[in-house]
Amino acid sequence: MISGQQRPLRLLTAILRNGTIPHALLFTGIEGIGKRTTAMTFAMACNCTAQNPVDPCGYCRSCRKIQSGSHPDIIFIEPDGSLIRIAQIRALSHVITMKPYGARLRIVVISNAQAMNPEAGNALLKLLEEPPDRTILILTAIQTSDLLPTIVSRCQHIRFNPISQKEIVKMLVKKHGVDPGDAAIMVTMANGSFSKALSMVKSVNKVNWINRRNWLINIISQNFLDRSESLPLKPIGLLLAFAAKLSKNKEILSDSLEVIKSYLRDLVICKYCPEKIINKDLADNIQYASQKIAVQSLLSKIEAVRRTQKDIETNANIRMTLEAMMMQLRSIDEIT
């Protein structure tokens, strides 16, 4: 079931109905909004043995094998660690020189294509320049700017939008029995990603995300936002301790930083369009804090968090990177 992606589905349906399938497609959008699921459904539609050329039946031998992940002609390439390496693309090149085992169209899905190192990107470019027969490449990425322009230009680009908060709340409540109030808060933190919201629901016994969000926001408010002559800067040791605590939870670090960033964004938005803030249940807190700090300082803080996220994605030392972020946030306060 693919929800909230009417435009991509409409475009792909037209491609299937008209029989004008390009040799390469590029799906872009944030994580957890259905890009991989759509790619698998498209692969099923291309190879379903039922009569309908658009909607896969889900029951024929081909559809069942694709759903189970056992179809030899449906190939998924994913990052090895943090990167997609040239060896993976070379191995793919060897495989697709041969005819498909039984599929009408072989589908190759390269997930998180932005993780390709330069050598892998150049190797993939050669495949796109000389597309193999009966093979469709589907790349998924967050945004086109993360890929080589020459790769983007050789793919038909389909943009996937974040799913509306209302739609995700509805799915969490109806299909997973989540309390509507809790669902609304988790969806806020998930930022339009259904899979991220669902992972928060499933990890509730290990991580209470609502409590964690409140803890993160309280730390940021107390240490970096509440500034006056009577409230001196917090000791550096407290900030470094906060960085150490964040670094111990690597599995949820990315989401924790996203919580901090979304709160800081709300402080900026509140100055101009308070009705559009994301963390609506914290409206009073946000309105009060927003009045205490200048826009430029908030934008600098958001950029500091964003740089930290990017550095961690490229395998920087997590503890040192977080400590550097804390010092950057502190210095931003000192100069504003």
What per-residue confidence (pLDDT) applies to 63?
A: 93
What per-residue confidence (pLDDT) applies to 137?
A: 96
What per-residue confidence (pLDDT) applies to 207?
A: 64
What per-residue confidence (pLDDT) applies to 231?
A: 39
Residues 151 and 245 grouped into a single domain:
no
What per-residue confidence (pLDDT) applies to 229?
A: 41
Please give the residue range of the domain that contains residue 226.
Answer: 207-334
Which residues 6+ apart lie within 8 Å of 18 measured at CB?
none
Domain count, the chain: 3
Distance between CA atoms of 98 and 124, rounded to whole angstroms?
17
What per-residue confidence (pLDDT) applies to 150?
A: 94
Question: Among 175, 204, 233, where does a domain finish?
Answer: 204
For residue range 81-132, list pLDDT tens digits in order.
788 999 999 999 999 989 998 899 999 999 999 999 999 999 999 999 888 8
Give the residues of the chain that fall short of pLDDT 70: 1-4, 51, 53, 203-207, 224-234, 332-336
What per-residue confidence (pLDDT) applies to 336?
A: 46
The answer to whether residue 1 sits within a structural domain is no
Question: Among 143, 173, 204, where does a domain finish?
Answer: 204
Instruction: Give the H/E segment covering residue 88.
Output: helix 86-96
- CB-based contact 90:80 (threshold 8 Å): no
Give the Å distances, CA to CA, from 267 to 149, 164, 224, 293, 306. 35, 21, 13, 9, 16
Residues 16 and 142 grouped into a single domain:
yes
Distance between CA atoms of 329 and 243, rounded to whole angstroms?
12
What per-residue confidence (pLDDT) applies to 124?
A: 95
Which residues 6+ apart lie within 8 Å of 266 measured at CB?
277, 278, 279, 282, 286, 290
Q: Which residues, listed in sequence order, are joined to residue 108 by a DSSP beta bridge?
A: 75, 137
Averaged pLDDT score across all residues of the chain: 86
What per-residue confidence (pLDDT) applies to 236?
A: 81
CATH code where residue 73 lies: 3.40.50.300
Residues 140 and 253 grouped into a single domain:
no
Residues 199 and 215 grouped into a single domain:
no
